[in-house]
Amino acid sequence: METSRPQIGKAALWMLGAIASFSSMAVAGRELSVTHDTFEIMFYRSIVGILVVGLVLTATGSWHQVSTHRLGLHGVRNVLHFTGQNLWFYAVSVVPLAQVFALEFTQPIWVILLSPLLLGERLTTIRVLSALIGFLGILIVARPGAVPLSAGVVAAAMSAIFFALTTISTKKLTQFASIGCIMFWLTVIQAGLGFAASAFDGQITLPTLSTAPFLLLVGLAGLLAHFCITNALAIAPATVVVPFDFARLPTIAIVGVILYQEPLDHWTLLGAVVIFAGIFLNVHAENRNSLATVPRDTQRK
Protein backbone atom coordinates (compact mmCIF):
# COMPACT_ATOMS: atom_id res chain seq x y z
CA MET A 1 0.00 0.00 0.00
CA GLU A 2 1.52 3.29 -1.09
CA THR A 3 1.17 6.38 1.02
CA SER A 4 0.03 9.52 -0.82
CA ARG A 5 2.05 12.72 -0.67
CA PRO A 6 -0.66 14.58 1.30
CA GLN A 7 -0.60 11.82 3.95
CA ILE A 8 3.19 11.96 4.15
CA GLY A 9 2.93 15.73 4.52
CA LYS A 10 0.44 15.35 7.37
CA ALA A 11 2.64 12.75 9.04
CA ALA A 12 5.58 15.14 8.77
CA LEU A 13 3.57 17.87 10.49
CA TRP A 14 2.63 15.49 13.30
CA MET A 15 6.30 14.55 13.71
CA LEU A 16 7.29 18.21 13.83
CA GLY A 17 4.91 18.49 16.76
CA ALA A 18 6.55 15.46 18.41
CA ILE A 19 10.06 16.86 17.85
CA ALA A 20 9.06 20.21 19.34
CA SER A 21 7.43 18.48 22.31
CA PHE A 22 10.38 16.19 23.12
CA SER A 23 12.85 19.05 22.76
CA SER A 24 10.72 21.33 24.96
CA MET A 25 10.49 18.63 27.62
CA ALA A 26 14.28 18.18 27.64
CA VAL A 27 14.90 21.92 28.03
CA ALA A 28 12.21 22.24 30.72
CA GLY A 29 13.66 19.23 32.57
CA ARG A 30 17.12 20.79 32.63
CA GLU A 31 15.76 24.15 33.83
CA LEU A 32 13.74 22.45 36.57
CA SER A 33 16.70 20.39 37.81
CA VAL A 34 18.10 23.51 39.47
CA THR A 35 15.12 23.64 41.87
CA HIS A 36 13.35 20.27 41.78
CA ASP A 37 14.69 16.73 41.92
CA THR A 38 13.55 14.21 39.30
CA PHE A 39 10.92 12.67 41.62
CA GLU A 40 9.27 16.06 42.12
CA ILE A 41 9.32 16.72 38.39
CA MET A 42 7.60 13.38 37.80
CA PHE A 43 5.03 14.07 40.54
CA TYR A 44 4.02 17.47 39.18
CA ARG A 45 4.10 16.17 35.61
CA SER A 46 1.67 13.43 36.60
CA ILE A 47 -0.66 15.93 38.29
CA VAL A 48 -0.83 17.88 35.02
CA GLY A 49 -1.42 14.59 33.21
CA ILE A 50 -4.31 13.63 35.51
CA LEU A 51 -6.04 16.94 34.80
CA VAL A 52 -5.56 16.65 31.03
CA VAL A 53 -6.55 12.97 30.80
CA GLY A 54 -9.55 13.58 33.08
CA LEU A 55 -10.74 16.44 30.87
CA VAL A 56 -10.35 14.33 27.72
CA LEU A 57 -12.20 11.36 29.22
CA THR A 58 -15.00 13.68 30.37
CA ALA A 59 -15.25 15.51 27.04
CA THR A 60 -15.40 12.25 25.07
CA GLY A 61 -17.63 10.43 27.56
CA SER A 62 -15.03 7.66 27.89
CA TRP A 63 -14.85 7.16 31.64
CA HIS A 64 -16.49 3.76 31.20
CA GLN A 65 -13.28 2.57 29.50
CA VAL A 66 -11.32 2.96 32.74
CA SER A 67 -11.28 -0.30 34.68
CA THR A 68 -9.17 -2.06 37.30
CA HIS A 69 -8.79 -5.18 35.13
CA ARG A 70 -5.15 -6.36 35.23
CA LEU A 71 -4.27 -3.44 37.51
CA GLY A 72 -1.10 -5.30 38.49
CA LEU A 73 0.20 -5.11 34.92
CA HIS A 74 -0.62 -1.40 34.86
CA GLY A 75 1.42 -1.10 38.04
CA VAL A 76 4.42 -2.96 36.59
CA ARG A 77 4.30 -0.87 33.42
CA ASN A 78 4.27 2.37 35.35
CA VAL A 79 7.07 1.39 37.72
CA LEU A 80 9.18 0.66 34.63
CA HIS A 81 8.24 3.92 32.95
CA PHE A 82 8.66 5.91 36.17
CA THR A 83 12.18 4.51 36.56
CA GLY A 84 13.11 5.18 32.94
CA GLN A 85 11.71 8.71 32.99
CA ASN A 86 13.57 9.59 36.20
CA LEU A 87 16.82 8.32 34.68
CA TRP A 88 16.09 10.39 31.56
CA PHE A 89 15.41 13.58 33.53
CA TYR A 90 18.63 13.05 35.47
CA ALA A 91 20.57 12.51 32.24
CA VAL A 92 19.29 15.70 30.57
CA SER A 93 20.43 17.67 33.61
CA VAL A 94 24.07 16.51 33.47
CA VAL A 95 24.81 15.23 29.94
CA PRO A 96 24.80 17.11 26.59
CA LEU A 97 21.26 16.91 25.23
CA ALA A 98 22.31 15.42 21.89
CA GLN A 99 24.09 12.57 23.67
CA VAL A 100 20.99 11.80 25.76
CA PHE A 101 18.77 11.70 22.66
CA ALA A 102 21.26 9.54 20.75
CA LEU A 103 21.31 6.93 23.51
CA GLU A 104 17.53 7.15 23.89
CA PHE A 105 17.21 6.12 20.24
CA THR A 106 18.46 2.65 21.24
CA GLN A 107 15.04 1.87 22.75
CA PRO A 108 13.84 -0.04 19.62
CA ILE A 109 17.04 -2.11 19.73
CA TRP A 110 16.21 -3.25 23.25
CA VAL A 111 12.62 -3.99 22.20
CA ILE A 112 14.00 -6.25 19.46
CA LEU A 113 16.15 -8.18 21.93
CA LEU A 114 13.64 -8.39 24.78
CA SER A 115 10.49 -9.20 22.77
CA PRO A 116 11.43 -12.87 22.18
CA LEU A 117 11.84 -13.32 25.95
CA LEU A 118 8.77 -11.38 27.07
CA LEU A 119 6.36 -11.57 24.11
CA GLY A 120 7.45 -14.80 22.44
CA GLU A 121 8.29 -13.02 19.18
CA ARG A 122 10.77 -14.55 16.74
CA LEU A 123 14.34 -13.22 16.67
CA THR A 124 15.15 -13.07 12.94
CA THR A 125 18.51 -12.58 11.27
CA ILE A 126 17.59 -9.01 10.33
CA ARG A 127 16.64 -8.21 13.92
CA VAL A 128 19.93 -9.59 15.23
CA LEU A 129 21.86 -7.58 12.62
CA SER A 130 19.88 -4.44 13.54
CA ALA A 131 20.70 -4.95 17.21
CA LEU A 132 24.42 -5.44 16.49
CA ILE A 133 24.50 -2.25 14.40
CA GLY A 134 22.67 -0.43 17.19
CA PHE A 135 25.19 -1.57 19.80
CA LEU A 136 28.02 -0.41 17.56
CA GLY A 137 26.35 3.00 17.60
CA ILE A 138 26.18 2.91 21.41
CA LEU A 139 29.92 2.22 21.60
CA ILE A 140 30.62 5.15 19.26
CA VAL A 141 28.49 7.51 21.36
CA ALA A 142 29.76 6.38 24.78
CA ARG A 143 33.35 5.51 23.70
CA PRO A 144 34.13 3.48 26.85
CA GLY A 145 37.83 3.57 27.59
CA ALA A 146 38.44 6.63 25.41
CA VAL A 147 36.51 8.97 27.72
CA PRO A 148 35.33 8.53 31.34
CA LEU A 149 31.96 6.76 31.54
CA SER A 150 29.87 9.25 33.50
CA ALA A 151 26.79 8.51 35.60
CA GLY A 152 24.75 10.65 33.22
CA VAL A 153 25.68 8.55 30.19
CA VAL A 154 24.87 5.35 32.08
CA ALA A 155 21.52 6.86 33.16
CA ALA A 156 20.67 7.81 29.56
CA ALA A 157 21.52 4.31 28.31
CA MET A 158 19.58 2.65 31.14
CA SER A 159 16.55 4.85 30.49
CA ALA A 160 16.33 3.38 26.98
CA ILE A 161 16.16 -0.14 28.45
CA PHE A 162 13.36 0.81 30.83
CA PHE A 163 11.50 2.60 28.02
CA ALA A 164 11.80 -0.59 25.95
CA LEU A 165 10.33 -2.63 28.80
CA THR A 166 7.56 -0.03 29.05
CA THR A 167 6.84 -0.43 25.33
CA ILE A 168 6.61 -4.21 25.66
CA SER A 169 4.27 -4.01 28.67
CA THR A 170 2.16 -1.41 26.85
CA LYS A 171 1.83 -3.82 23.93
CA LYS A 172 0.45 -6.40 26.36
CA LEU A 173 -1.96 -3.86 27.87
CA THR A 174 -3.38 -2.79 24.50
CA GLN A 175 -4.73 -6.32 24.05
CA PHE A 176 -7.48 -5.61 26.58
CA ALA A 177 -7.25 -1.94 27.67
CA SER A 178 -8.09 1.25 25.78
CA ILE A 179 -5.63 4.09 25.34
CA GLY A 180 -7.75 6.19 27.71
CA CYS A 181 -7.54 3.52 30.40
CA ILE A 182 -3.78 3.13 29.95
CA MET A 183 -3.22 6.89 30.11
CA PHE A 184 -5.43 7.27 33.19
CA TRP A 185 -3.52 4.69 35.19
CA LEU A 186 -0.23 6.05 33.81
CA THR A 187 -0.88 9.46 35.35
CA VAL A 188 -2.52 8.25 38.59
CA ILE A 189 0.01 5.53 39.48
CA GLN A 190 3.00 7.70 38.60
CA ALA A 191 1.59 10.58 40.63
CA GLY A 192 1.53 8.23 43.63
CA LEU A 193 5.06 6.99 42.91
CA GLY A 194 6.32 10.53 42.44
CA PHE A 195 4.75 11.73 45.68
CA ALA A 196 6.11 8.79 47.68
CA ALA A 197 9.62 9.19 46.29
CA SER A 198 9.55 12.98 46.71
CA ALA A 199 8.33 12.79 50.31
CA PHE A 200 10.85 10.10 51.28
CA ASP A 201 13.27 12.72 52.62
CA GLY A 202 10.43 14.54 54.39
CA GLN A 203 10.53 17.56 52.10
CA ILE A 204 8.77 18.39 48.82
CA THR A 205 9.76 21.60 47.05
CA LEU A 206 6.62 23.45 46.00
CA PRO A 207 6.36 25.05 42.55
CA THR A 208 7.39 28.67 42.29
CA LEU A 209 6.42 31.37 39.82
CA SER A 210 9.58 30.58 37.87
CA THR A 211 9.25 26.75 37.88
CA ALA A 212 5.47 26.41 37.45
CA PRO A 213 5.53 27.20 33.68
CA PHE A 214 8.26 24.60 33.11
CA LEU A 215 6.37 21.99 35.16
CA LEU A 216 3.27 22.67 33.08
CA LEU A 217 5.35 22.40 29.90
CA VAL A 218 6.81 19.04 30.96
CA GLY A 219 3.33 17.66 31.68
CA LEU A 220 1.76 18.87 28.43
CA ALA A 221 4.76 18.14 26.19
CA GLY A 222 5.01 14.53 27.35
CA LEU A 223 1.38 13.82 26.46
CA LEU A 224 1.48 15.82 23.23
CA ALA A 225 4.63 14.08 21.95
CA HIS A 226 3.10 10.61 22.13
CA PHE A 227 -0.21 11.90 20.72
CA CYS A 228 1.64 13.32 17.70
CA ILE A 229 3.62 10.11 17.08
CA THR A 230 0.47 7.98 17.36
CA ASN A 231 -1.30 10.13 14.77
CA ALA A 232 1.71 10.05 12.44
CA LEU A 233 1.88 6.25 12.59
CA ALA A 234 -1.88 6.05 11.97
CA ILE A 235 -1.57 7.69 8.54
CA ALA A 236 1.93 6.72 7.38
CA PRO A 237 4.13 3.60 7.63
CA ALA A 238 6.94 3.41 10.15
CA THR A 239 9.50 3.64 7.32
CA VAL A 240 8.23 7.19 6.76
CA VAL A 241 7.81 8.17 10.40
CA VAL A 242 11.15 6.89 11.76
CA PRO A 243 13.35 9.18 9.58
CA PHE A 244 11.29 12.17 10.72
CA ASP A 245 11.71 11.08 14.34
CA PHE A 246 15.46 10.97 13.84
CA ALA A 247 15.35 14.72 13.11
CA ARG A 248 15.04 15.10 16.89
CA LEU A 249 18.79 14.63 17.20
CA PRO A 250 20.06 17.55 15.06
CA THR A 251 17.22 19.66 16.47
CA ILE A 252 18.20 19.08 20.10
CA ALA A 253 21.90 19.43 19.21
CA ILE A 254 21.20 22.93 17.85
CA VAL A 255 19.09 23.73 20.92
CA GLY A 256 21.99 22.62 23.15
CA VAL A 257 24.42 24.87 21.26
CA ILE A 258 22.14 27.92 21.41
CA LEU A 259 20.86 27.63 24.98
CA TYR A 260 23.72 25.88 26.80
CA GLN A 261 26.76 26.39 24.55
CA GLU A 262 27.18 22.61 24.24
CA PRO A 263 29.75 21.60 21.60
CA LEU A 264 28.64 19.61 18.57
CA ASP A 265 30.32 16.25 19.26
CA HIS A 266 30.95 14.47 15.96
CA TRP A 267 31.21 11.11 17.78
CA THR A 268 27.69 11.52 19.15
CA LEU A 269 26.32 12.45 15.73
CA LEU A 270 28.15 9.55 14.04
CA GLY A 271 26.97 7.07 16.66
CA ALA A 272 23.41 8.31 16.33
CA VAL A 273 23.54 7.78 12.56
CA VAL A 274 24.73 4.20 13.11
CA ILE A 275 21.97 3.57 15.68
CA PHE A 276 19.42 4.99 13.24
CA ALA A 277 20.74 2.72 10.48
CA GLY A 278 20.18 -0.34 12.66
CA ILE A 279 16.66 0.74 13.59
CA PHE A 280 15.70 1.65 10.04
CA LEU A 281 17.03 -1.66 8.69
CA ASN A 282 14.65 -3.51 10.99
CA VAL A 283 11.69 -1.18 10.31
CA HIS A 284 12.21 -1.48 6.54
CA ALA A 285 12.40 -5.28 6.73
CA GLU A 286 9.25 -5.47 8.89
CA ASN A 287 7.42 -3.21 6.44
CA ARG A 288 8.41 -5.38 3.48
CA ASN A 289 7.30 -8.52 5.31
CA SER A 290 3.92 -7.01 6.17
CA LEU A 291 3.39 -5.96 2.53
CA ALA A 292 4.32 -9.46 1.37
CA THR A 293 1.38 -10.87 3.32
CA VAL A 294 -1.12 -8.46 1.73
CA PRO A 295 -2.83 -9.44 -1.56
CA ARG A 296 -1.35 -7.55 -4.53
CA ASP A 297 -4.66 -5.94 -5.53
CA THR A 298 -4.87 -4.49 -2.02
CA GLN A 299 -1.30 -3.17 -2.15
CA ARG A 300 -2.13 -1.11 -5.27
CA LYS A 301 -4.94 0.82 -3.55
Which distant-in-sequence residues (6+ apart) come within 8 Å of 170 by Cβ?
77, 182
Nearest to 40 by CA among 91, 94, 86, 87: 86
Q: What is the value of pTM for the model shown?
A: 0.89
Mean pLDDT of 197-226: 93
Distance in angstroms (rounded) separating the CA atoms of residues 161 and 159? 5
pLDDT band at 133 (very low <50, low <70, confident <90, very high): very high
- Among 4-13, 117-126, 161-170, 291-300, the range with the most confident prediction by mean pLDDT is 161-170
Which residue type, as a one-letter code, is found at position 255?
V
Give residue-wise pLDDT tens across range 60-69. 999 999 999 9
Indicate the range of 76-80, 110-114, 201-205, 283-287 predicted with least confidence.
283-287
pLDDT band at 141 (very low <50, low <70, confident <90, very high): very high
Q: pLDDT at position 84, please? A: 96
Select the more confidently predicted residue: 275 or 290: 275
Cα Rg of the chain (Å, integer): 19
Please report, for residues 20, 46, 97, 98, the alpha-carbon distance to residue 252 in angstroms, rounded to integers and kept in the order given: 9, 24, 6, 6
pLDDT band at 59 (very low <50, low <70, confident <90, very high): very high
